[in-house]
Amino acid sequence: MERKPNRLVYEKSPYLLAHAYNPVEWYPWCDEAFEKAKRDDKPVFLSIGYSSCHWCHVMEKESFEDEAVADILNRHFISIKVDREERPDIDAVYMEVCLLFNGNGGWPLTVIMTPDKKPFFAGTYFPKETRGSRIGLKEILLSVAKYWQENREDLLSRGQKVVEYLKTQSSPELENIEPSVIDRAFFEFKSRFDSQYGGFSIRPKFPSSQNLLFLMRYFYLKKDREALNMVEKTLQAIKLGGMYDHVGFGFHRYSTDRQWLLPHFEKMIYDQATLMMAYAECYQITKDQFYKEAVEETFQYLMRDMLSKEGGFYSSEDADSEGDEGKFYTWEYKEIENILGEDISLFTKVFNIKPEGNYFEEATGELTGRNILYLKSDLQTLSKDLKVDFQELNSKVTLWKKELFEHRKKRVHPLKDDKILTDWNSFMMVALSKAGKSLKDSKFTDTAYNLFNFLKSRLFNGEKLYHLYKDGETKIEGMLDDYAFLIWGCIELYEATGNPTILEFAITLQNLANSLLYDSEEGGYYLSHHDKDLIVKLKPIFDGAYPSGNSVMINNLIKLYHITSNDSYYDRALKCIRFFSSDLKRMPSYHSMSIIGLMLYFYPVAEVVLTGDCKDRLQSLNEKFLPQKVVLYKDPQSSCILSKIAPYTESIHIGEDCSISVCKNFSCNLSTDNLNYAIRLIEE
């Protein structure tokens, strides 16, 4: 029987299009859906997910493709589908509701609400039928439909109370904040650290790389080796484990177990970016080739599989292929034996595969007969343990990876979500800029610069930033994360290249964000200015899988103040810190990026002013881990007057001698051409 499309068939999102032929009469988020709910006197069923979400696919197959479930939804509800990557503002509001109701959240996000968007029920994945203690979706829907008819006022009252509570939560108490909160964050990480396997939880384990960025800065400021040890243990475990794709490179989304072995297999572009940042900075500090290799291999994956023809990076790759999670990435023992022949014995010892498989199905805990490749230690250590020459082992592993990769290419590939998102691509700009600086390799900064040009030309119209680009179309006005992350990317790329147009654009974006999203009365930035779509305006500060927009904006404002000496940036940063002070003091380790901002606020920041032909010295300066600095580029004809520096009016001048001036606390040292002396001044 030919399936009929619903309204999602006209959408661009791969996630929404995947539901376009469900028997459910889906609407995208639009006024028409809510107006119909009011006319028909029906509650709204809202389902939020994203293209590479495994359990979103499970719920679709079980429930949204089922005629019986569709019949209940179509008779009793108006059903709306949202791609949380297209509309993170809508997702953020209703995820707050889910956390309020259940104490936890995730995707798929399932919400039932009144026709005026006030929620009275929220949860995540539900099976079609009740399974043990987990209530089934059919039972929930029928109960809610009956209650809507018989106890309408109770549901309306509940929805109103939820909205009122969310509004009170958006106005925290203002408190003074002291430098000691930085130490408290460190000690919280120390208390949660898994000394055996790395990371800061038992299971599941997310990379949350901003935590590692904080700890490396804590090591820099406090010279506490334990902070760096936690970073190295975690980064080593992630790359050695099954969360890393040892054949095609890149990182899966998170580990379901304590050992970083069993991942959820989707690959998100933001994880690639944030982990590249962490590995690049760890390489800056340690000069250990292990971390450099992680950056190089991840870059190889991105350029091969995730870069669009236009120059932006796609959003993600699915966990599933051919209906099975991880099928593309896992291996049967015989399959590898057929490819590698007699090398299978050594391969087994290196990558820990088994004839019966080592991959347990997460839901059942049963062996699947397939294997996840992982290492128990780095190759240098393994060569000693296995009594194999290191160079020989390294050559074999490189060859094995190539042979397995060529074989894997013939499989059915996971679905690629080819949306290009401003915020996630801006993260990639940051990562590429940091990689170019720490590895002294222009291929990273060249790619970052191409990405900058793509975002500026395709997602900025001269007046405002946009969130999404797909199939030649730009849509959805930019939100806080788009502005905050792109400003961060511009600052990093400016410091890597000295190109003045990049900094000019950062300042343009900052001023736009200040006018569109900043709360001038209380402080902080609203997540979105799509006011008519939202029941409450949120100002997020909590760092989740990646940093919050407000935490990044605090860092941006302080850095832009030091670069431009514009006091208004500093004043806004201070007001943001004050507004979020109670959150930062209550759980500092859950606000790592904000605490990094506090380091810039409480500890001296060095303005390193470069004048003349400084390209060689710039490279040598950038390969050092010096987080408490900003870099400024000046016209060699002007003098160093820190209070009125306008460094973005001129780029580095070829043919002039290089001079370096290090400025701190509103005074500049005498210029020098001695880079080592300048670095000593920065670190004092």
What average pLDDT score do residues 628-641 get? 69
Q: What is the DSSP letter of 287?
A: -
| Residue 204: cis peptide before it, omega within 30 degrees of 0 | yes
pLDDT grade for 639, boundaries at 50, 70 and 90:
very low
Mean predicted lDDT score pLDDT of the chain: 92
Q: What's residue 366's pLDDT?
A: 79
Token pair of 22, please? 């469900």
Can you give the pLDDT at residue 450?
97
Least confident of 418-427, 467-476, 641-650: 641-650
Percentage, residues of the chain above pLDDT 70: 96
Per-residue model confidence (pLDDT) at position 134: 83
Name the H helices within 302-421: 333-340, 344-351, 379-385, 390-408
Q: What is the CA radius of gyration of the chain?
A: 26
Lowest mean pLDDT among 144-158, 382-396, 627-641: 627-641
Q: What is the pLDDT of residue 170?
A: 66
Q: Is the pLDDT of residue 552 over 50?
A: yes
Q: Is 289 left (phi over 0), alpha (psi -120 to 50) or beta?
A: alpha
Mean pLDDT of 68-88: 95
DSSP-assigned states of every residue in 444-462? HHHHHHHHHHHHHHHSB-S
pLDDT, tens only, 409-437: 999 999 999 999 999 999 999 999 999 99
Domain coordinates in residue numbering, the chain: 7-169, 181-327+417-602, 333-410, 606-683
- The confidence band for 133, taking pLDDT boundaries of 50, 70 and 90, is confident
CATH number of 7-169: 3.40.30.10
CATH architecture type of domain 181-327+417-602: Alpha/alpha barrel (1.50)
pLDDT top residue among 670 and 101: 101
| pLDDT interval class at 648 (50, 70, 90) | very low
The length of the chain is 684
Band (pLDDT 50/70/90 cuts) for residue 520 is very high
Residue-wise pLDDT for 356-401, tens only, equals: 999 887 667 778 899 999 999 999 999 999 999 999 999 999 999 9
Tokens at 28, concatenated:
């995208």
pLDDT digits (tens, 9 = 90+) for 279-299: 999 999 999 999 999 999 999
Q: Are strands 659-664 and 667-668 parallel, antiparallel or unpaired?
A: antiparallel
More confident residue, 672 or 73: 73
**Which run of H or of E encompasses 466?**
strand 466-470
pLDDT at 220: 97
Has residue 480 got a pLDDT over 60?
yes
Report which of residues 674 and 393 the model is more confident about.
393
What pLDDT band is residue 671 in, cutting at 50, 70 and 90? Answer: confident
- What is the pLDDT at residue 360? 83
pLDDT band at 443 (very low <50, low <70, confident <90, very high): very high
Residue 454 has pLDDT above 60, yes or no: yes
Report the predicted TM-score, pTM, of the whole model to 2 decimal places. Answer: 0.92
Q: Which residues pair with 663 in a beta bridge?
A: 607, 668
583 falls in which pLDDT band (50, 70, 90)? very high
Question: pLDDT higher for 611 or 331?
Answer: 331
The rounded distance, in Å, linking the Cα atoms of 53 and 265 is 9
pLDDT at 104: 83
Task: Mark 236-255 as b/e (b = at least 16 C-beta within 10 Å).
Answer: bbbbbbbbbbbbbbbbbbbb
> In the block, which residue shows the tokens 């949350």?
208
What are the C-alpha distances in Å from 152 to residues 47, 114, 144, 340?
Answer: 22, 10, 10, 66
pLDDT in tens, 200-220: 998 899 999 999 999 999 999
Look at residue 342 and tell me whether its pLDDT is greater than 80: yes
Which pLDDT value is given to residue 651? 35
| pLDDT on residue 635 | 61
**d(C-alpha 648, C-alpha 646), whole Å:** 6
Residue 120, sorted as left (phi over 0), alpha (psi -120 to 50) or beta, turns out to be alpha
